[in-house]
Amino acid sequence: MPRGHDVPEAELAVLRVLWDAGEATRRQITDRLYPGGGPAHYTTVQKLLERLQERELVVQGGTPRLRTFTAAVGRDELVGMQLRGVADRLCEGSLSPLLMNLVSSRPLSEAELDELRAFVREQSRKHRKEG
């Protein structure tokens, strides 16, 4: 399955733990997601980790006695993959309608507007250099 397909909320919760921690054991992830949880929660986390590994979103490390897990994809990379998927499905691959709807969905703060302007200027510079 391609990495960019939808990531269910439960799998996203595991990725958030790994993004925050950098690396964690199955037990540490379970304790973060289900404080005071029991064996069923541990099994749930195991299944989520297996799915994420199959999709190449998480990698396993450590030793056979103490396995650790790390996100194989950063938060920004996953956001990009998810948004490209939405653009492909809803906008026939065009990013403009998606971006315009995102920006107009709620008022942007001055800081967000400044960041967006800087990003557009940088993209324009890159485009002129390539063209």
Residue 61: Cβ within 10 Å count: 10
So what's the pLDDT on residue 86? 87
Q: Read off the pLDDT band of 131 (50, 70, 90).
A: low
Q: Are residues 40 and 76 in the same domain?
A: yes
Q: Are residues 67 and 123 in the same domain?
A: no
Give the pair of three-digit tokens for residue 128: 């002129």
In angstroms, the CA 90 to CA 8 distance is 19
In angstroms, the CA 131 to CA 125 distance is 10
So what's the pLDDT on residue 2? 47
Q: How far apart are the first and last CA of the chain?
A: 35
Count of structural domains within the chain = 2
Residue 121 has pLDDT above 80, yes or no: yes
Rg (CA), the chain: 19
pLDDT tens-digit readout, 4-43? 568 899 999 999 999 999 999 999 999 999 998 889 999 9
Residue 99 lies in a domain: no
pTM higher than 0.85 for the full model? no
Q: For residue 66, give the amino acid letter.
A: L
Q: Are residues 125 and 61 in the same domain?
A: no
Q: Are residues 55 and 115 in the same domain?
A: no
Q: Are residues 30 and 59 in the same domain?
A: yes
Q: Read off the pLDDT band of 64 (50, 70, 90).
A: confident
Residue 100 lies in a domain: no
Where in the sequence is the domain holding 88, given as residue range(s)? 1-94
